[in-house]
Amino acid sequence: ECRQSRARACELRLPHGRVASPVFMPVGTQGALKGLTAAQLSALGCRLCLGNTYHLGMRPGPELVRKGGGLHGFMRWPWNLLTDSGGFQMVSLVELSEVTEEGVLFCSPYDGKEILLTPEKSIEIQTALGSDIMMQLDDVVSSTVSGPRVEEAMFRSIRWLDRCIAAHKTPDKQNLFAIIQGGLDPALRTKCLEEMTQREVPGFAIGGLSGGEAKDHFWRMVALCTSRLPRDKPRYLMGVGYATDLVVCVALGCDMFDCVFPTRTARFGSALVPSGSLQLKNKQYATDWKPIDENCGCPTCQRYSRAFLHALFRHDTAAKHHITVHNIVYQLNLMRSIRESIIEQRFPQFVQDFMRTMYGNRESYPQWVTEALASVGITLE
């Protein structure tokens, strides 16, 4: 643990191997990462990635995946998997869903059929998928919603957690995480924390954030949750993947993160670097013979120039693959560097160096970052 902030370097002991944290988990919605094979992801050093219960439950369907040896066998992935519960689709597919106490009624985006996803059904699908970490079904509302719906969703998420725990028959093989809800209301978050931390679950997620709310609200909710979550259990901040957010939220005490951002942004030609990102589609890279990042050891940076990727991007999807490889390695390297700095008790200095490289000078630092870090004892110079 960092002596100054809440940052921690831990180890998750999971059925398919140990995972060093803080950890970023790439998202493979349909059991594959867009633009990468499972073997490539493994070779890059990823040991925990994410699958989506709702989409996999729709197609190819849990029965087929079970016959294929669970999601590990189906996608030929030897390491750990986390599956989400399908709850987030209440926000992302809001026009297609209706929530009741029983569960969420979805209209399939594939064939228009109605499907009722209950806490029990979510656990059943995740059991068939065989993930190492499964998430409770929660009642998710957008982080920009306020009023009685937020309170209703928080209390329902507690009730649904109890139903998930009761339905969970493989606790020796699969770890069920609770999800803290409560929107941007500190009283509701606190109530949810009080209730859920009384349940015997192996880990906790902080849900319902990073959905467009003001960063000032975002970091305060994260800090509130980490201050009240048990010290000896992993804390998973859902849907966070920007480099600055990762560094700040590690300082606030989070251990696990996931986001489609690094892979999605790669498909638009955006390569992540310590100073931000390079838009490789832009003309300025047409005659730039440097790799994306001269200090990066990924296969893309070892082999290809910015000029080549710029030229390739116009007419070949392979460019998206090469940038995806680089972006995944960027995220994994960032988390590895954060972890090393925590173990060596130099995390506050790491944060100073990271911010200088990313933003140049102190005048450019986002105010929310300065305030969030100050709240845990790191004053930016």
Catalytic residue positions?
Answer: 84, 258
Contact assessment for residue 53 and residue 106, using Cβ atoms and an 8 Å cutoff: no
Instruction: Enter the tokens of residue 253.
Output: 């005490």
Angstrom CA distances, 267 to 270, 289, 296, stand at 7, 21, 19
CB count in 10 Å sphere of residue 134: 26
Paired with 91 in beta bridges are none
For residue 48, list its beta bridge partners.
Answer: 80
**What does R_g of the chain's alpha carbons equal in angstroms?**
21
Query: Which has the closest alpha carbon to 293: 313, 278, 308, 312?
Result: 278
How wide is the angle at C-alpha 56 spanned by C-alphas 95 and 23, nearest 5°?
Answer: 100
Residue type (1 letter), 8? R
- Residue from 156, 27, 6, 40 nearest 92 by CA: 27
Three-class HEC string of 61-115? CHHHHHHCCHHHHHCCCCCEEEEECCCCHHHHCHHHEEECCCCEEEECCCCCCEE
Contacts of 49 (CB under 8 A, 6+ apart): 25, 26, 27, 28, 33, 41, 77, 79, 80, 81, 82
**CA-CA distance, 288 to 175, in Å (whole number)?**
47
